[in-house]
């Protein structure tokens, strides 16, 4: 029986499992990769984890790590404040595309511009999932959301790492991975934390899935994220 229990990262908080995300959600894949990286780098005594509002808030007790929720879009400045106060810590701001690219975009931009040594992880599922699937800056052309029922066509799609590339210092680290290729994503997360440990800014966007709001079965979910990978180029920037 015990052989069937998967090997969770040791920084997981066992008492909060099963986790609070919907079945099929991409968040637990990102968090598992992050947990493995934290284990492998042996930095669990140094990591401070901060989560935004939106589905990311469900990770408030995911890890056995010092963790706090913040307000929508305000995880990044809270992380910056903590890092300034305790530079020895490795501070991670974990948020969705709404938090990072809409309501908190000014913080994402400015933190990159200032090269604040924190790591921002953005989970991009192209919509506002917690509130039921509304238009996000990342919503792709023709995508139907609850606030674009006729399909989105008003403006272009925001691409975070591409935007930040223009203002990031050469020492900063920007990457986009996908939950569809979790082990590649894991490498990006590791490099992002290593970048912070060298006192530079890092951001990793993770393309993710939301079968609940996408209203997709397993097959369609995989097709859709693979299509997203054509629109949002994965790799290091």
Partner 1 sequence: MGNQILAQAAKDAGAKMMFGYPITPSTEILETWAKFCLKDKSLKILQTEDEMAAGFGTIGACLAGIPAFTATAGPGNILMQDAIVMAEALRIPMVGLIIQRGGMSTSTVIYSQEEVRLTCFGGNSEGFRIVYSTANLQELYDYTLKAFQMAWKYRWPTFVLADGYQGKMVGEVETSLQKSPMTNLKPILTKGVNLRNCYNLEEEIAEKITNYNDEYQKVRGEIEEYEEYQTQDAKVILMAHGIVAAATHMAVDKLRKKGLSVGLFRPITLRPFPTQAAINVLAKAKKIIVLESALGQLAELFKAELFGLNTTLIEVNKPALGFTPEEIAKTVLKLKK
82 binds partner 1 per the rule CB under 8 A: yes
22 binds partner 1 per the rule CB under 8 A: no
Helix (H, G, I), strand (E, B) or coil at 143: coil
Stretch 31-50 residues interacting with partner 1 (CB under 8 A) = 45, 48
**C-alpha to C-alpha distances, 158 to 137, 162, 163, 214, 224, nearest whole angstrom:** 5, 9, 8, 19, 18
Of 57 and 140, which has the nearer Cβ to partner 1? Answer: 57
119 binds partner 1 per the rule CB under 8 A: no
Residue 190: CB atoms within 10 Å = 18
What residues are paired with 5 via a beta bridge?
A: none
CA 188/CA 121 separation, integer angstroms: 10
60 binds partner 1 per the rule CB under 8 A: yes
Stretch 131-150 residues interacting with partner 1 (CB under 8 A) = none
84 binds partner 1 per the rule CB under 8 A: yes
- Could you give the count of Cα atoms lying within 13 Å of 102 in the half-sphere of its Cβ? 20
Among 29, 38, 55, 57, contact with partner 1 (rule: CB under 8 A): 57
Q: Omega of the bond prior to 18 within 30 degrees of 0, cis?
A: yes
Of 39 and 236, which has the nearer Cβ to partner 1? Answer: 39
68 binds partner 1 per the rule CB under 8 A: yes
Q: How far is the CB of 55 from partner 1 (least distance, A)?
A: 11
Stretch 174-213 residues interacting with partner 1 (CB under 8 A) = none
Among 19, 39, 41, 61, contact with partner 1 (rule: CB under 8 A): 61
224 binds partner 1 per the rule CB under 8 A: no
Secondary structure element (H or E) that encloses residue 173, with its range: strand 173-178
Among 9, 26, 28, 77, contact with partner 1 (rule: CB under 8 A): 77
157 binds partner 1 per the rule CB under 8 A: no
How many residues bind partner 1 (CB under 8 A)? The answer is 31
CA 85/CA 72 separation, integer angstroms: 22
CA 109/CA 142 separation, integer angstroms: 27
107 binds partner 1 per the rule CB under 8 A: yes
Cβ pair 151, 135 in contact under 8 A = no
79 binds partner 1 per the rule CB under 8 A: yes
DSSP string, 13-44: -GGGPSPSSPTT-SHHHHHHHHHHHHHHHT-T
Which positions touch partner 1 (CB under 8 A)?
13, 45, 48, 53, 57, 60-61, 64, 66-71, 73-74, 77-86, 89, 106-107, 109-110
């Amino acid at each position: 029986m015990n052989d069937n229990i998967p090997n969770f990262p040791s920084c997981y908080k066992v008492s909060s499992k099963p986790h609070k995300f919907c079945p099929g959600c991409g968040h637990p894949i990102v968090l598992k990769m992050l947990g493995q990286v934290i284990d492998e780098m042996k930095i669990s005594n140094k990591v401070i984890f901060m989560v935004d509002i939106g589905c990311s808030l469900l990770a408030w007790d995911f890890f056995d790590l010092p963790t706090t929720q913040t307000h929508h879009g305000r995880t990044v400045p809270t992380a910056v404040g903590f890092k300034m106060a305790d530079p020895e810590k490795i501070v991670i701001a974990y948020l969705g595309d709404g938090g990072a690219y809409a309501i908190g975009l000014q913080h994402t931009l400015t933190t990159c511009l200032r090269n604040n040594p924190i790591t921002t992880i953005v989970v991009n599922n192209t919509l506002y999932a917690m509130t039921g699937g509304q238009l996000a800056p990342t919503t792709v052309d023709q995508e139907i959301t609850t606030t674009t029922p006729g399909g989105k066509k008003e403006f272009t799609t925001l691409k975070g790492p591409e935007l930040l590339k223009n203002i990031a210092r050469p020492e900063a680290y920007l990457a986009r991975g996908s939950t569809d290729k979790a082990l590649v994503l894991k490498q990006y997360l590791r490099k992002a934390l290593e970048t912070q440990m060298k006192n530079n800014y890092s951001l990793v966007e993770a393309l993710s899935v939301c079968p609940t709001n996408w209203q997709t079965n397993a097959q369609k979910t995989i097709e859709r994220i693979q299509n997203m990978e054509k629109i949002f180029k994965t790799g290091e920037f």
